A and B are shown apart, each in its own frame.
Chain A
Amino acid sequence: MIALGLEGSANKLGVGLIKHDMTTSPPTVTILANVRHTYHPPPGEGFLPKDTALHHRSHIVELIHQALADAHITHKDIDVICFTKGPGMGGPLTSVATVARTLALMWNKELVGVNHCVGHIEMGRQITGAENPVVLYVSGGNTQVIAYAEKRYRIFGEALDIAVGNCLDRFARVLNLPNDPAPGYNIEQLAKKGTKLLDLPYTVKGMDVSFSGILSYIESNAKRLLESGEYTEADLCFSLQETLFAMLVETTERAMAHIGSREVLIVGGVGCNMRLQEMMGQMAEQRGGKVFATDERFCIDNGIMIAQAGILAYQTGYTTPMEKTWCTQRFRTDEVFVAWRD
């Protein structure tokens, strides 16, 4: 069984092809193709929905051709087309969903609408082999501590205001760092040279976190701190990372202690930050636990994750009828009925 996955909820456009060999139990999973094209706005700016949607529309056909070529298959071999139903930005989502619908009609295939967050979780589980971990999902738009129970991915903790990736991206704009390959990546590289820790607000409420205070503080003080020579740009990046990530690791640990779990899986774009992975590893080691993480191919938004979550749902008999293939900007992780897990 082969699934095509189309993802474009934010500035990454991803196309993936995944194969589940159903003759074995559990099915043997092979990744046939995983291609991506990213929209990079100029330094100092974020990506706007309109421009991002235009980017996706301009590149999606060539990416699908490339994915089919990489996989050495034709559209006849595809069983199901999976696309991101939400959450995400409206314009980019609908531009990709339109392509999914068109292909389904042209090629006479079934459609499966996928929750983006569930896509990240299923991809992470598949790649790392983590069975039932506490999941930290961190990206530009999402910050959630999740665990599975009774057919749902339940949110134990989340950001009460802005997401961690958004906080990093916006600080990158203050420093005018390039958006290529990613603002967070450039902060990570700069932070390696930082040594001096700036005392930033630290806001943890149980398993929830709040980042807006930190962002306001650092945005309004950065200029003064840099001009006086008290801190370097590297020091500020370092301080921001150390503080944000300490909050994330703390709340993840709290969820692990509360549930009694020893495994933690990090997914989402911010999840490929090596410093975050390192800190999580140190936490897990102190509790006799284990961290699972993936690299940028699977952490950062991609088409494979949508194909993987979609094919799992499809195997339980789930499809999305044409009239229900609309997209939604707000689609909570815990709204999805996880029929494929016990």
Chain B
Amino acid sequence: MAVHQGTLIKQGAEARVYIAPFCGRKAIVKERFAKAYRHPALDKKLTSRRVTQEARCLNRCQKALIDTPTVYMVDVASSLIYMELIDGLSVREYMETDEGSTQAARTHIAEEIGRALGKMHNIDVVHGDLTTSNLLMRNNDSKSVVLIDFGLSYVSNLVEDKAVDLYVLERAFSSTHPNTEVMFEQILASYGTSCKASKQILKKLEEVRLRGRKRSMLG
């Protein structure tokens, strides 16, 4: 294990996540370890690309005052990113709590998510892996939604890429949280008011939806 004095808190699909001391405070350390199943050359290419992409996109969001973890340090050679430890539950976990199940709380989450995504797309960051596990609820009075896990993110100004980004979230919503169509509508409404090109993107989203549904063909 490459993380000094770290405590493993989670193994995601991409990386192991540790809490470790960094310059006198607690930090999150994300370690992308080699995937045994992947060809070494492919693994190396993907891992180094994703470490840099994540750090770059987090930084870009931070500059635009979008709530994301602050990057403290990047160690490309060991595939480590040190970043701010956020106190709060993921939206997925929060939606399962009593508080998070109320109508008021869900409307608030939806507005927050829509606003955050709108701002992110305004600066041409495409997240690439939007799920309710990759959105955190900051545990303070602001209850702000924090975007995390930018491993599949990239910079693009294409309407298509942004629409697919929303589509990925929509699918994650409908599969993980059945019967939340209204909430997703609220997200899109809030996105509509905060994203500059939302009109075109939402129109494209309609097209993308049809594309996904075609896939129930032969077997």
Partners in one complex: yes
Establish whether residues B176 and A259, one from each chain, have CB atoms under 8 Å apart when the complex forms. yes
In the complex, chain B residues 140-183 whose Cβ is within 8 Å of any chain A Cβ: 152, 164, 168, 171-172, 174-176, 178
A62 to chain B, nearest CB (A): 23
Known: A207-B168, A208-B168. A9 touches B178 (CB 8 A): no
Bound CA–CA A49/B103 (angstroms) = 50
What's the count of A-B pairs with C-beta under 8 Å?
A: 144
A156 within 8 A of partner (CB): yes
In the complex, chain A residues 306-342 whose Cβ is within 8 Å of any chain B Cβ: 329-333
Contacts of A329 in B (CB 8 A): 217
Establish whether residues A155 and B42, one from each chain, have CB atoms under 8 Å apart when the complex forms. no
Establish whether residues A158 and B178, one from each chain, have CB atoms under 8 Å apart when the complex forms. no
Bound CA–CA A233/B167 (angstroms) = 37
Contact of A156 among B36, B45, B172 (CB under 8 A): B172
Known: A147-B175, A160-B212, A163-B215. A280 touches B37 (CB 8 A): yes
Contact of A286 among B35, B133, B172 (CB under 8 A): B35
Bound CA–CA A161/B218 (angstroms) = 13
B131 within 8 A of partner (CB): yes
Bound CA–CA A282/B176 (angstroms) = 26
A63 to chain B, nearest CB (A): 19
B18 to chain A, nearest CB (A): 16
Contacts of B152 in A (CB 8 A): 204-206
Establish whether residues B219 and A87, one from each chain, have CB atoms under 8 Å apart when the complex forms. yes
Establish whether residues B215 and A10, one from each chain, have CB atoms under 8 Å apart when the complex forms. no
Bound CA–CA A205/B154 (angstroms) = 11
A279 within 8 A of partner (CB): yes
Establish whether residues B175 and A202, one from each chain, have CB atoms under 8 Å apart when the complex forms. no
Contacts of A155 in B (CB 8 A): 171, 175
Establish whether residues A258 and B36, one from each chain, have CB atoms under 8 Å apart when the complex forms. no
Bound CA–CA A147/B174 (angstroms) = 12
- The binding surface of chain B is classed by DSSP as loop
Bound CA–CA A229/B92 (angstroms) = 52
Establish whether residues B130 and A206, one from each chain, have CB atoms under 8 Å apart when the complex forms. yes
B24 within 8 A of partner (CB): no
A283 within 8 A of partner (CB): yes
Bound CA–CA A205/B141 (angstroms) = 33
Establish whether residues B46 and A202, one from each chain, have CB atoms under 8 Å apart when the complex forms. yes
Looking at B11, B14, B46, B219, which has the most chain A CB atoms within 10 Å of its CB? B219
Establish whether residues A282 and B36, one from each chain, have CB atoms under 8 Å apart when the complex forms. yes
Closest residue of chain A to B90 (Cβ to Cβ) is A258
Contacts of A163 in B (CB 8 A): 215, 217-218
Closest residue of chain A to B217 (Cβ to Cβ) is A141
Closest residue of chain B to A335 (Cβ to Cβ) is B216
Bound CA–CA A161/B208 (angstroms) = 11
Establish whether residues B36 and A283, one from each chain, have CB atoms under 8 Å apart when the complex forms. yes
Closest residue of chain B to A12 (Cβ to Cβ) is B219
Establish whether residues A89 and B212, one from each chain, have CB atoms under 8 Å apart when the complex forms. no
Establish whether residues B11 and A242, one from each chain, have CB atoms under 8 Å apart when the complex forms. no
Contacts of B25 in A (CB 8 A): none
Interface membership of chain A positions 179-192, coded 1 if the CB is closer than 8 angstroms to chain B and 0 otherwise: 00000000000000
Contacts of B33 in A (CB 8 A): 286
Known: A282-B36, A283-B35. A89 touches B215 (CB 8 A): no
Bound CA–CA A142/B151 (angstroms) = 27
Closest residue of chain A to B126 (Cβ to Cβ) is A205
A176 to chain B, nearest CB (A): 23
Contacts of A285 in B (CB 8 A): 36
Establish whether residues B171 and A156, one from each chain, have CB atoms under 8 Å apart when the complex forms. yes
Closest residue of chain A to B131 (Cβ to Cβ) is A258
Establish whether residues B216 and A87, one from each chain, have CB atoms under 8 Å apart when the complex forms. yes
Contact of A88 among B39, B214, B218 (CB under 8 A): B218
Contacts of A116 in B (CB 8 A): 219
Contacts of A156 in B (CB 8 A): 171-172, 175-176
Known: A206-B152, A207-B171, A282-B37. A257 touches B12 (CB 8 A): yes
Task: Using CB atoms and an 8 Å cutoff, list the residues of chain B in contact with chain A.
Answer: 11-14, 33, 35-39, 41-42, 45-46, 92, 128-131, 133, 152, 164, 168, 171-172, 174-176, 178, 211-219
**A-B contact list, 17 entries, CB within 8 Å:** A9-B219, A139-B218, A141-B218, A156-B172, A156-B175, A158-B215, A160-B164, A160-B212, A160-B215, A205-B164, A206-B131, A249-B37, A249-B38, A258-B133, A282-B35, A286-B35, A286-B36
- List 5 A-B pairs, minimum CB-CB distance, nearest first: A141-B218, A254-B13, A206-B168, A279-B37, A282-B37
